[in-house]
Amino acid sequence: MIEALSIWVAAGLTLAIMSFLYGDNPVYKFAEHLYVGYSAGYWLIYTWHFTIKLMVIQPIAEKQPGAVWLVIPLFFGALMLTRWFPRIAWISRWSIAFTVGIGAGLTLTGAVHGYIIPQVKATILPLWTGNGLTSFNNFVIVVGVITTLIYFFFSKPHTGVLGKTSKVGILFIMVAFGASFGYTVMARISLLIGRLDFLWSSILKLVQFF
C-alpha cells in the first residue's frame, strides 16, 4: 500500500506540473508551491547539518585545533540576520560586501583558469596537420574565434574589412547560439521522456498491484 500510494502521489504531481500546458491553474500552483516549499525545507536541513553543525558548531564544541577561527565566519553569518530588523539592517552590508568580494574573486580566477586559458590553448592549432579534414576543422576553429573577438571590438566602427570580418563573427555566434538552444531543447525533451516513462511504468505497477 505504501508503494502504491507513493506512485500515485508522484504520478499525480507530475500530471499537475504538466497541466501548465493548458494554462495557469490551481492544480499547477499547488504542485509548484509544494515543490518550492519542499526544496527550501530540504536545503535548510542540508545547510544546518552539513555546514553549520559539522563545520562550525561541532569543531568548536570539540575544541578542535584552529576551531577558534571559526568564530569569524560565524560572526559575519550572524550579521546577515540583521536584515530582519530594519533599524540595524545596514550592518548586514558588511557580510554582503565580504561575500560579494570573495565571490567576485573566485569567479574571476575560475573564469580565467576554466574558460579563457583553455579556450586560448584550444585555439592555438596547426592549420595543416597532413589530414585534410582535421586541417579544415582547425581552420574553422581559428577563424571562428578570431572573427568573434573582432565582432566584440568596439573601439573602431565596423566598416570596411573590419565590418565584413565582424559579420563572419556574427555567423559563428548565431551557430553557437543555435547549437546551445538545440542542446537545451534536447535536454528538456530527455526530461519529458523520463517523466512519461515514469508515468507509463507507474500505471503498469498499479495495474499489477491491483
- How confident is the model at residue 210, as a pLDDT? 59
- Residue 210 to residue 202: CA distance in whole angstroms: 12
Measured in Å, how far apart are the chain's first and last C-alpha atoms?
Answer: 10
- How confident is the model at residue 46, as a pLDDT? 94
Task: Tell me how far CA of residue 129 lies from CA of 121, 133, 138, in angstroms.
Answer: 17, 9, 9
Residue 116 corresponds to which cell in the numbers above? 579563457
pLDDT digits (tens, 9 = 90+) for 136-160: 998 998 899 889 988 988 888 888 8
Average pLDDT over every residue of 73-85: 88
Name the pTM for this structure. Answer: 0.60
